[in-house]
Structure 1
Amino acid sequence: MINIILTEDHPIVRNGIKLLLESQQNFCVIGEASNGKETLRLFRNNVIPDVLITDISMDDMDGLQLTEEIRSNYPQVKIMILSMIGQREFISNCFAKGANAYLLKKSSYEEMLFAINHVAKGGRYLCDELSMDLIENMNNIGLDLAGKTRLIDEIELSDRELEVLGLISEGLTNIEIANKLFLSKRTVEGHRQNLINKTKVKNSAALIKYAVKNGLI
């Protein structure tokens, strides 16, 4: 039997999830709450679940604060975030704070049930939709890196030229670049001119524009 506390500030949503969970023979909802403070009160009264399912956006104490509290004081409890928010940075922060799973509220009931069982056994879970977004983003990063590598090979940029290009993009003068790289001013001027010639642009401003457009910096 998997004991569950359900924290959700919308009663209709909470009741719907509760009915779904209680339709499963191996799930038991042992507590409900509308915010983090109410949830902690249940814990302090020794109502401690195997899995806590919590929303994020709630009054008094939100799901992220609740996650930190539970992870610090009840490390054995598995925490599943159920939210409308799909931004990668936010999701990463939830896992960093101690969440074991993250599902969008539009996830299917079947996926939610699978995730609860998986998390209760010690696993971690990210819903299908967010997993696919992550994979597509990684693929795009891979394509960008491959394109950058091809361009560097095609126009034959050296590692030193790329280093100088990066410093030019930061607004450093030839003298400043020379001092930073322990080179002579004339050598830096030569690298700058080589960059302009290889990229076939007219000046340093156009060089930076070209570098940004093609992902070189």
Structure 2
Amino acid sequence: MIQIGIIDAFPIIRIGLTILLKEAYKDAEILAASNLDSFLSEHRNIRARAVIIGICENAKEDKLLMIRQFRNECPQVPLMIYDHQFQPELVPSYFMSGVTGYVLKHQNENQMLTCLNRILKGEHYLSPELTSNFVQRIVENDKNPTRHQRRLTPYEFEIAVRLCRGQSSPFIAEKLGRKPTSISSARKTIFRKLNIHSIVDLRKAINLDPEQA
């Protein structure tokens, strides 16, 4: 028997995915929950082979923090993100935080199953369509001379995203287990690397709108 977890706020999506997965994996046991806390509470002692987390359009939770929390609790379980829209500015942080597969909700079921099959084999997966889109964004950015300075580390990029969300240095420090002075220092480094002077400039520099954060 293979156990697969589904975490999504919408019951109809959980039901649809359950039907799809049971058709694809005849011996599958589906462990479904509306949020991560409920999933960990209800299935803490169950060893799922993979977990799918659905990202909602108006999600209020801190997505990167949620991924980190899941990875801390279930370090060996492959994790797939099932996103409402492609967010290329967040994809690197998703994978660096422990995501192993990334697909979109509007893609067909074959992409979902291909992604799941790949991560069950211990591989990472980003669909060809999204990979092409992601690479094109990088190429377009690199054509802009000012973008050549924009080489943030994964740590700096996560702080940059959090700053764009309006989070303060003390709040970010608490979430990341760092000192506020370390976050302030990282902020100065980010601004220097990007040659910017404000959070508004930062959002433009990493192509992150407040609604997407």
TM-score class, shorter: 0.5 to 0.7
The range that moved more, 18-27 or 80-89, is 18-27
| Consecutive unaligned residues in structure 1, runs of 5 or more | 146-169, 171-217
Number of aligned residue pairs: 146
Rounded Cα–Cα distance in structure 2 between residues aligned with 1:43 and 1:144: 48
Secondary structure of 2:90's partner? helix
The offset of 1:136, in angstroms, is: 1.9
Identical pairs, percent: 29
Q: Deviations for 1:155-187, whole angstroms, at most 9, x for unmatched residues? A: xxxxxxxxxxxxxxx8xxxxxxxxxxxxxxxxx
Secondary structure of 2:21's partner? helix
| Structure 2 residue aligned with 1:132 | 132
Rounded Cα–Cα distance in structure 2 between residues aligned with 1:113 and 1:5: 14
CA shift in 2, pair 1:99/1:83, >3 Å: same
Rounded Cα–Cα distance in structure 2 between residues aligned with 1:144 and 1:71: 36
| Consecutive unaligned residues in structure 2, runs of 5 or more | 146-194, 196-213
- Is 2:11 the counterpart of 1:11? yes
| Structure 1 residue aligned with 2:49 | 50
TM-score, length basis structure 2: 0.60
Q: CA RMSD in A?
A: 2.7
The offset of 1:59, in angstroms, is: 7.0
Q: Which residue identity lines up with residue 95 of structure 1 in the other structure?
A: F
The offset of 1:25, in angstroms, is: 3.1
| Structure 2 residue aligned with 1:85 | 85
Q: Whose radius of gyration is greater, 1 or 2?
A: 1
The offset of 1:14, in angstroms, is: 1.2
Give the number of the structure with larger relative contact order, counting CA–CA contacts within 8 Å between residues 6 or more apart: 2
The offset of 1:87, in angstroms, is: 1.8
TM-score, length basis structure 1: 0.59
| Structure 2 residue aligned with 1:111 | 111
CA shift in 2, pair 1:26/1:62, >3 Å: farther
| Structure 1 residue aligned with 2:30 | 30
CA shift in 2, pair 1:43/1:110, >3 Å: same
